[in-house]
Structure formats: structure tokens, C-alpha cells
Amino acid sequence: MYLRIHGLPAHPLVVHATAVVVPAAALMVATVAVWSGLRRRAGLAPVLLAAAALVGVPVTTSTGEQLEARLPPSPLIERHAELADGLLPWVVGLFAAATVLAVMDWRDGGWTVWPGRRRAVAAPTTATTDRAVSATTLPAAGTPVALRVIAAILALVAATGTVVQVVRIGDAGARASWSDVPAAARPGLGDG
């Protein structure tokens, strides 16, 4: 089935949403990988944005394959499609890195819900005291620093690879779209 939106092929419309969400997710994951204070405030936002990218990439490649099937064969379109097929593994890595960072923060004391507040849990009561502490801030669980550094490096690698791949795909797509348009007809190029 060839998907159209208001009579237009879906791919050029869907690709713009993906071209915004994927780099935004990569930027957010890279930022929270190196800025722990923001990571605690962001909570699940990087994971949710990476999940949106993870959903958007297959939808975009699917609509691209539908459009490719309706166009005459072209080496430029084939190159664009090959590059697009390589984006999903990067986005999977980005989602995994975002999830690992979020889980580590959750285990190490939770996320800041509002500025100055952390998730609270009931403290265990002891046999030596009659009063129970109703709530306290969780102490750091102590995720090893080496593990945090490895997770941050993997997040940065995934974010960088994702953005590089998106730029390569976009460049190949622009070349495929504009290669048969004379330079004088392109906006801004024929104005002498």
C-alpha cells in the first residue's frame, strides 16, 4: 500500500519529522551523558525522545521504500536508501544508552521531580527505636564510576554516529531529489 497524506507521498512529509526528532534525541542523550545534574532533572525525557526516534526511523524508511518503488531506478536514490538502512542500528544504540543512563540514575537516588525534591521512600525501622522515619532521600547506590564513564562514552558514540548518519542520509536524499534540476531553476542559484 502506497501511503499518501493529503494526496502527497508520505515520505517527504514523514522524513522531516524524523530529521528533527532523531538529532534532538541524539543531542539530549549526549548532553545528559556528560551532565549528571541535567540527567537527574530530565528523568525519562531522553528515553522517551529516543523511543520516538526509534519508532520514527522504521516508519520513515518504510515510506521511503514505497516511494522508491514508484520512481525510476537511480543510483542516487539507491545510495540514499542504503544509507537510510544504516540508521536504525545507531538509533537502537541511542535508545539503549539513554535507558542505561536513566536506570543508573534511578538506582543511584532517583530523578528530581521538582527542583530541590527527589523521590522519597520509607526508611526501614530499627528494633532500637519506636519511631519510624516516614520518608527520606535515597542514598547513592554507588554505581561504579567506571561503569558510568563507559555508559557515557557509549552514549556519546551512539549520539555522534546517529547525527553523522542523519547528515549523510539527508545529503544523499537532497542529491537524489535535486540532481536533475538545472542550477538556474534552483532557488538562490540562478540570481547572478
Average pLDDT, integer, range 97-116: 76
Q: What is the mean pLDDT of residues 10-26?
A: 91
Tell me the longest C-alpha to C-alpha distance in the chain. 88
What pLDDT shows up at residue 68?
A: 85
Grid cell of 94 as nine digits: 541511542
Q: Which fold has domain 4-117+145-178?
A: Four Helix Bundle (Hemerythrin (Met), subunit A) (1.20.120)
- pLDDT range class, residue 104, cuts 50, 70, 90: confident
| Structure-model confidence comparison of residues 152 and 12, the more confident one | 152
Per-residue confidence band for 185, with pLDDT thresholds at 50, 70 and 90: low
pTM summary value: 0.75
Q: How many beta carbons lie within 10 A of that of residue 154, not counting itself?
A: 17
Percent above pLDDT 70 for the chain: 74
pLDDT at 152: 94
For the four alpha carbons of 175, 181, 183 and 185, in that order, the dihedral sign comes to: negative
Q: With a cut of 50, say whether residue 114 has pLDDT above it.
A: no
H-helix or E-strand spanning residue 4: strand 4-5
**Helix orientation angle between 145-178 and 10-34, rounded to the nearest 10 degrees:** 160
Give the residue from 92, 76, 98 showing the smallest Cα distance to 172: 76
CA nearest to 172, candidates 90, 77, 85 = 77
Enumerate the domain spans of the chain.
Answer: 4-117+145-178
- Which of 64, 42, 38, 21 lies closest to 162 in space, CA to CA? 21
pLDDT of residue 50: 97
* pLDDT at residue 151 greater than cutoff 50: yes
Examine the pLDDT at 136 and tell me if it is beyond 50.
no
Q: What is the pLDDT, as a whole number, of residue 122? A: 45
Q: What is the pLDDT of residue 52?
A: 97
Contacts of residue 61, Cβ cutoff 8 Å, sequence gap at least 6 = 84, 85, 87, 88
Alpha helices, H only, the chain: 10-34, 36-42, 45-70, 75-85, 87-107, 145-178
The model's pLDDT over 48-94, given as tens digits with 9 standing for 90+, comes to 999 999 999 999 999 888 888 888 888 999 999 999 999 999 999 99
Cα-Cα end-to-end distance for the chain: 44
pLDDT at 40: 79
